[in-house]
Each structure stands twice: as C-alpha cells, then as structure tokens.
C-alpha cells in the first residue's frame, strides 16, 4: 500500500480487481488479498463489522494467484493450486461439504 497526497493509504501493484455484490476484492502482485465493502455473510473473510470503506488485508489466506467475488461468498486459488472459499455456505456453496457460513477461508473438498 502507498499513501496518497491526502494521507490515505491506497493499493498499488494490483494484479486483479474483482467486484461482488456490495464489496470488492484485490489480489496483489505479491499474492496478498484485500477486501472492502459489505461484510454481510462474512464475504470479506474477516470478523469485522458490517462495512469497511478501506481495503483490509486478509491475513488468513496464503499468497493468491486468482480470486473470485460472488454475491455472497469469495474464493481464491493459492500459489500451490488449492482453492479456498468463505462467506455464505447455507446451500453448500463453499464446497466444504458443510452448510455453514464462515469468515475463515476453508479448503475446497471434492
């Protein structure tokens, strides 16, 4: 992150930028994952309150090479090729064979 002329930190070195429903995600060139916006259904991957207007680094993920932002959940592929998802899991859509919502990245199981 860099600081702009108004003193606000901004993202630099972005590899991918994704937009989900009421939130966004950035995958940085170094593999860090940042999210911001609505945290409804824990889709930001943090335990923070409902909304955040500033990008927050997800400390729970390995370096990422790809990310996806859906309406109610988020996913990444890490450098080793593993898929992790978090957010709304009510319908089993996190791929972990459970039906729970989580802010913690869970390994996709097939």
Q: Identify which of 64, 21, 45, 52 has the alpha carbon closest to the alpha carbon of residue 102.
A: 45
- pTM of structure: 0.88
- Chain segment 28-48, per-residue pLDDT in tens: 999 999 999 999 999 999 887
Q: Which pLDDT does position 1 carry in this prediction?
A: 58
| Burial of residue 42, with CB atoms counted within 10 A of its CB: 0-12 exposed, 13-18 middle, 19 or more buried | buried
pLDDT-flagged residues of the chain (< 50): none
pLDDT for the residue numbered 47 = 81
């Amino acid at each position: 992150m860099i600081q702009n002329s108004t003193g606000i930190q901004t993202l630099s070195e972005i590899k991918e930028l994704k937009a989900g429903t009421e939130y966004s995600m950035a995958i940085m060139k170094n593999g860090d994952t940042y999210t911001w916006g609505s945290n409804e259904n824990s889709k930001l991957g943090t335990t923070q309150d409902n909304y955040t207007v500033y990008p927050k680094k997800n400390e729970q993920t390995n370096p990422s090479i790809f990310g996806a932002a859906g309406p109610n959940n988020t996913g990444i592929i890490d450098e080793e090729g593993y898929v992790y998802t978090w957010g709304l899991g009510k319908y089993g859509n996190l791929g972990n064979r459970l039906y729970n919502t989580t802010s913690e990245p869970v390994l996709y199981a097939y």
